[in-house]
Chain A
Amino acid sequence: MAEAAIMAEELNKWFGAEEARTYAVRDASFEAYWGEMLYIVGPSGSGKTTLLSMISGILRPNSGTVRIDHHELWSLPDNQIADFRLNTIGFVFQDYHLFPRLTTAENVAIPLVLQRRPWKEALRAAARYLEVVGLSDKADLPPSKLSGGEQQRVAIARAIVHEPRILVFDEPTASLDGETGRKIVSFVKNEVLNPNRCILIITHDSRIFEYSNRIMSMEDGRITGFQQKDLYEAREA
């Protein structure tokens, strides 16, 4: 059995107090494994983003635990949670959140800069990862000069430049046409995923389901089930 990268137990998140309380996530428990690409799917408002935010250390749950690589995430002080995010998690935001005033290479270098790596060293590393995503010739351009697919690849390079073990994608294909979306996710599966990395992807896009190892469904804040054969169970069988 592959080792669990993420263990979430009885996670609850609600907003509002007393009678106005609304549950965004309710009693969510699941495991994700190293080497796995796990999709989280469900209708809008089903709690996907809230769940992923609690897993990735940016939203504190009201109850429940998250263990990542044997660390009890929410028992850490705030500063250590920030360090944990910085060193362990790579984010690809839905809107990319690239910095328009920085060059592509500078955008990719940001996580390393936050890790206090020297500026030039960070840019050299960024150049290497831009090469990985096939954009080495666009290093000096601002993001506004890139196509949507290219911007997505820059966001991926930024998410992996500091070699985090967990990657979190929020709707990675939402702004892309079908062909480009499939190329991007195929690239992630073939080039970014490895046995020491776990990738969580929130998506509505059924065109990219084929690239997942598992698909976790959510509805009304609850995990309603898993689709597709679990990769590791399959391997063991």
Chain B
Amino acid sequence: MKEILILAYKLLVNDKGKYTALLVGTVFSVFLIVQMTSSFAGILTKASATVINVGASIWVMDPSATNSVMGSIPMPDYVLDAVRSINGVKYAVPLYSGAALLKLHDGTYQAVTVLGLDDASLVGRPELIEGNIEDIFAENGFIAVKDEEFYKLKNPKLGTEFELNDHRGVIVGIATVPTGALYGTPTLFTTYNRAIQYIPSLRFTSSYILVEPKRPSDIVTIKQQVAQLGYVALTNSEFQQGISNYLKYQTGIGTNTLLMTVISFIVGLSISGQTFYTFILENLEHFGALKAMGAKGRDLVYMILFQAAFTSLVGYGLGIGLSTLLITAAKLRLPEYASRVTYANLGFAFLLVLIIASISSYAGIRRVLRVEPFDIFRG
């Protein structure tokens, strides 16, 4: 078998023009597919940035606010007490999430997202790279997140001051978070009480209640009890999934991405499929000669499948490499570029490439199996 495949390999790669055209088709297709799906994955991840960064196990919220952290609906304080009283809750704390407008030290204004952490526990606090977490309790203390949007705060240092609704604010810590935000605004952490004090609020102030169950098995009970209160409790992954589903199915982003991915697939299939079929047609007499010499149908099928698979895998590798290179280069120039190559993207692109290879080789195999050695023999 190995020898037959070596023969197939040589027939393929020695035809440099065709082989290059085949690779270009596959690389182009994989490149577009990975670009599309990675951008979408990046958007989905960034849309769930707060959920990922705060990292609470369970989020309690208004049932109408499951689509986005930015669209939170404040809950009355009794909900916090009621949740704390549920059997299986280890602890429950409020989280404030809201938008504010900062007046920076140079006099310019900048929209920010402010997250107010429970004063007693600071559950959901970020990892500091400068400053001490205790300083968040200092007068006017805020922690700035050093993500892609950090520069919009004019790259503050410890002690940098700003104004928020005529309140003085001071940067007392610089933090890092796993994921930057989607909406292009810098993020500040402070205490819950300072947040509701500085930022104009409605009657109710708890955007979310962060819950830690005693045991994983308590999650079901907690969800049921919260539902009886008229609210919804989502695990971290459920909340992320809800945000993703919203973007996928209730905005145009998912449809657009899907359409572009399908178009990329069709373009790749057209180029690779057509080129591969032409390659087979041009080699039809050689396949016929092999058949006349004694090659069996299955030998020729293995050869064609190998040629299609080899081209696809090399094209896939090059396409992934090219995509990754471009995404990396783009991120160096545009830090807020929302693109993320995930294993799921790679798997999806691989699946599509396999489909391209299968369809391309199927057409070729059908043609080769129909070749009569007699036609070759009689010229």
Contacts and interface: CB of A to CB of B under 8 A. Distances in A.
A170 interface: yes
B368 to A, nearest CB: 14
Given A93-B379, A99-B286, A170-B377, A85 B3 contact: no
11 contacts: A49-B378, A53-B373, A58-B372, A82-B294, A83-B296, A86-B294, A113-B4, A114-B290, A114-B294, A114-B299, A119-B3
B15 A113 contact: no
A143 to B, nearest CB: 12
Give the dominant DSSP class at B's interface: helix
B138 interface: no
A58 B292 contact: yes
Interface in A18-58: 49-50, 52-53, 56, 58
B62 interface: no
B298 to A, nearest CB: 9
A59 interface: yes
A85 B373 CA distance: 11
A97 interface: yes
The 4 closest A-B CB pairs, nearest first, are A86-B294, A101-B14, A97-B289, A85-B294
A99 B374 contact: no
Contacts of A49: 377-378
Contact of A93 (B2, B7, B296, B376): B376
Interface in B1-25: 1-4, 6-7, 10-11, 14-15
B292 A85 contact: yes
Contacts of A97: 285-286, 289, 376
A86 B6 contact: no
B295 interface: yes
Contacts of B120: none
A114 B293 contact: yes
A85 B4 CA distance: 17
Interface in A87-135: 87, 89, 91, 93-95, 97, 99, 101-102, 106, 110-111, 113-114, 116-119, 122
Interface of A: 49-50, 52-53, 56, 58-59, 79, 82-87, 89, 91, 93-95, 97, 99, 101-102, 106, 110-111, 113-114, 116-119, 122, 170
Interface in B269-308: 285-286, 289-296, 299
Given A79-B296, A113-B3, A58 B377 contact: yes
Contacts of A79: 296
Contacts of A95: 379
Interface of B: 1-4, 6-7, 10-11, 14-15, 285-286, 289-296, 299, 372-374, 376-379
Contacts of A53: 373-374, 377-378
Nearest to B10: A102
Contact of B3 (A58, A99, A117): A117
B294 A93 contact: no
Contact of B2 (A59, A82, A101, A119): A119
A82 B291 CA distance: 8
A157 to B, nearest CB: 13
A98 to B, nearest CB: 9
A122 B3 contact: yes
A114 B374 contact: no
Nearest to A121: B3
Nearest to A106: B10
B373 A110 contact: no
A82 B295 contact: yes
A53 B375 CA distance: 10
A174 to B, nearest CB: 9
A58 B11 CA distance: 24
Given A59-B374, A93-B377, A97-B286, A83 B294 contact: yes
A49 B377 CA distance: 8
Given A58-B377, A111-B294, A114-B299, A101 B11 contact: yes
A53 B291 CA distance: 13
B13 to A, nearest CB: 9
Given A49-B377, A101-B11, 11 more contacts: A50-B378, A52-B377, A56-B377, A59-B372, A79-B296, A82-B291, A86-B295, A93-B379, A97-B286, A114-B290, A116-B3
A101 B7 CA distance: 10
B11 A102 contact: yes
A164 to B, nearest CB: 10
A56 B377 CA distance: 11
Contacts of A114: 4, 290, 293-295, 299
Nearest to A112: B3
Nearest to B286: A99
A118 B373 CA distance: 25
Nearest to A114: B295
A101 B15 contact: yes
Contact of B374 (A58, A82, A85, A111): A58
Contacts of B1: 116
